[in-house]
Amino acid sequence: VRNLSKAFGSLSVIQDISFDIQRGEVVGLAGSTGSGKSVLVMLLAGLYTADSGDLLYKGQRLTWPFDARKLGIGVIHQQPTLEEDFDITSNIFLGNEIRKRDWMGVFSRLDREAMDNQAANLLDELGMEVETLRQKVADLSGEKRQMIAIARVMTYDASLMIVDINTLSLSYAYQQRLMELIQQWRGAGMAVLFSSNDLDDLLSLTDRIIILNKGRVAVDQRADELNREDAIKHLLGSSEPAIASHIDWDFDTYDQVRSHVEKISYHRMLLEKELASEGTLNRQLTEQLVQQFEILDQTNHALREAQKRLITEREYERKH
């Protein structure tokens, strides 16, 4: 990516962005709302046209618009583009259908059996269960639709994967499966651009992290050299620790909250076991600690329920 810029009218969205991605490398892309992260992904996917700058892929200069799939670029968008009235198999192989020749080798037709078998294997690899492959995707939940979009990209012969997923839309099990897939792609020698605001995932999974702020690259640094607090400062464009720590909660995911609840429950269990063997004074102190943990537990439970309602209402709105 060389000096890429894009504006909508008088609004400049990204400005003079440059970076590289190598084979076998996972690069994280982070940016708060309005940073230009989504627009950059659309440019790399060939769906938006840049005002200036260049894209070089395998030594070839790309011109917009381009077909990312034909070039070997797989793109997983936040909002999967699926054919609502098509079934699961048809959506997975849309534009990449498996065909077989007739006995004379002149004409071809869709090989439904081969596509069904491969679709079943892909969904099994993703840990996704469905009633039937003939089910229309319009009837599926948001996270299952997202997994079908991932399965579709897995049918491509890709050497670059661009992953732009809001992991909050996925359950914990699917989040973990996606992390495993990204590691597998890196092991297979693919280049991966992972766009996310889950800093824990980025710091633990990626080799390098690019942070955008107001349409510019605020930092391009190795993940093992970047700590969470500094990353948040770059995201917010703030040097004040108080502000950064206050906004820190905005980047905690539903899974992290659940993890906090599990840790609290575990410590509470240990404390309750100690109650029987402690003296009166220690027992009183321990009971106070248990009460504190219970308050934290209730707070985290409220956060979880609020997140569930948010996801449910968003799913209801999508179906409507």
Average pLDDT over residues 284-295: 74
Q: Taking all residues of the chain, what is their mean pLDDT, rounded to a whole number?
A: 83
Token reading at 294:
């219970």
Q: Which residue has the higher pLDDT, 228 or 249?
A: 228
Q: Which residue has the higher pLDDT, 33 or 6?
A: 6
Provide the pLDDT for residue 26.
96
The span from the CA of 53 to the CA of 33, in Å, is 23
Provide the pLDDT for residue 249.
40
For the cut 90, the answer to whether the pLDDT of residue 315 exceeds it is no
Provide the pLDDT for residue 271.
66
In terms of Cβ atoms closer than 10 Å to its own Cβ (0-12, 13-18, 19+), residue 161 is buried
Token reading at 211:
């942070």
Where does residue 228 fall: left (phi above 0), alpha (psi -120 to 50 degrees), or beta otherwise?
alpha
Provide the pLDDT for residue 258.
52
The span from the CA of 152 to the CA of 131, in Å, is 19
Residue for token digits 């109650």?
Answer: 275
Average pLDDT over residues 269-280: 62
Average pLDDT over residues 62-67: 92
Average pLDDT over residues 304-308: 77
Average pLDDT over residues 38-50: 93
Where does residue 9 fall: left (phi above 0), alpha (psi -120 to 50 degrees), or beta otherwise?
left
Strands 26-31 and 191-195: parallel
For the cut 80, the answer to whether the pLDDT of residue 292 exceeds it is no
Average pLDDT over residues 124-139: 90
What is residue 17's three-state secondary structure?
strand
Residue % of the chain over a pLDDT of 90: 40
Q: Which residue has the higher pLDDT, 272 or 262?
A: 272
184: confidence class by pLDDT, cuts 50, 70, 90: very high
From residue 271, how far is each of 149, 215, 286, 301 by CA, in Å? 46, 49, 7, 20
Continuous H helices in the chain: 37-44, 68-71, 88-92, 112-125, 142-154, 172-187, 199-205, 228-236, 241-247, 254-275, 280-319
